[in-house]
Amino acid sequence: MSTLPAEGWPIIGHRATVDLLRHSINAKRVSHAYLLHGPPAVGKFALSRAFAQALNCTAEAAPCGQCRACQLIAAEKHPDVRVIQMPADKREIPIDLIRVIQHEAALKPYEAIWKVYIIRDAENMSEEAANCLLKTLEEPPPQVILVLTAPTPEALLPTIVSRCQPLAMHPVPISDIEQALAEGHACDAQSAHLLARLSAGRIGWAIAASRDQSVLEARQHLMDQLQGLTHASRVDRLAFAAEHGQRYTKGVAERETVHAMLATWSTWWRDLLLIANGCSDRIVNVDRVDTLRSEARRLGLQPVRAFLDALSLADLRLRQNVNPRLALEVLALAIPSGSH
């Protein structure tokens, strides 16, 4: 059975959200602004683009993926559909990019039915940019739709969220991801099973990993790094924290790299907890099951639970702008020792 939602939208999972957007188009009750929020790589941008295609598709069954509008939008070359995101050389989305929306939104569509502006990772907007966008949201021009993506509504100004229709996007079922990888991305059964488990419901991550070996290599490095730290001295742990604390201060991309590291580590410690509780069939890191079982026997429940709590607290403290070196030092020193 196909995991694609009804009406052929090119989206894996998220059926309820797709149905809501499709029905709003069919009923001609489209909101002027949407906020798609959920974990990184869960499919927010893919759905934003599919929504833009469905709005402007010229075929009877939209989005068809084949008409001029659908193909131009997929290639990010449509004159009436623009993707706004943080430039590679910046630490935030500058106000200049939002002013482009203000200027262009006042004009009629060049060839589309709707002008669509997708603001990707909208939480990265500068304060000036966010306030500038608010003016457009307060007085939206006709035939203009804004789609913002963010991890949570709390990552944006409340005044912006209040003027958007928020749509939560949750992790995709592992079975759906495994099926999608096997059917549509040329994955063998073993690879599809592993990637689906490792994805934690992030369909975008799973697809990227199926196409690019470096994604799995990066994950392998993080796991080896964690294992190394369990045997590291106090000095080496503090040096690790200092290095990554400095990285965290360099910009948004570097901050997200550190958060991704903590998220990957969390999968390991949750797996240990699952094995210790007799639920090994639910673990994520299925390629390391023997090591996990050995570590679960050695450590026991209490140290695993304590470090999982430490990981969550470190991630929260970093997002609350606590000194990153200090937060990571506390975490590194809390890693249960590898000594027997």
Backbone angles phi, psi at 86, to 5 degrees: -65, 125
Give the tens place of pLDDT for each residue, 274-313: 999 999 888 999 889 999 999 999 998 999 999 999 999 9
What are the structural domain ranges in the chain?
6-168, 212-334
Tell me how far apart the alpha carbons of residues 107 and 226 are, in angstroms, rounded to a whole number.
53
Crossing angle of the two packed helices 234-248 and 324-334, in degrees rounded to 10: 150
State the DSSP string of 143-156: TEEEEEEES-GGGS
Tokens coding 219: 């994950």
Instruction: Say whether pLDDT at 2 is over 80.
Output: no
Cβ 203 vs Cβ 173: under 8 Å? no
Q: Reading across the β-sheet that carries 165-168, which strands appear in turn? A: 81-84, 115-119, 144-150, 33-37, 165-168
Tell me how far apart the alpha carbons of residues 324 and 201 are, in angstroms, rounded to a whole number.
28
The single residue listed with the structure tokens 């995101």 is 85
* CATH code linked to domain 6-168: 3.40.50.300
The pLDDT value given to residue 268: 93
Sequence-distant (6+) residues with CB within 8 A of 30 are: 24, 55, 114, 145
The pLDDT value given to residue 90: 81
Give the tens place of pLDDT for each residue, 96-131: 999 999 999 989 999 999 999 999 999 999 999 999
Give the tens place of pLDDT for each residue, 171-203: 999 999 999 999 988 899 999 999 999 998 999
Cβ 8 vs Cβ 173: under 8 Å? no
Mean pLDDT in the chain?
A: 91
Tell me how far apart the alpha carbons of residues 115 and 79 are, in angstroms, rounded to a whole number.
9
Give the tens place of pLDDT for each residue, 53-82: 999 999 988 899 999 999 999 999 999 999
pTM: 0.82
Instruction: Say whether pLDDT at 3 is over 80.
Output: no
Please compute the mean of the pLDDT values over residues 32-53 and round it to a whole number. 95
Give the tens place of pLDDT for each residue, 313-326: 999 899 888 999 99
First to last CA, the chain: 49
- What DSSP character marks residue 198? H
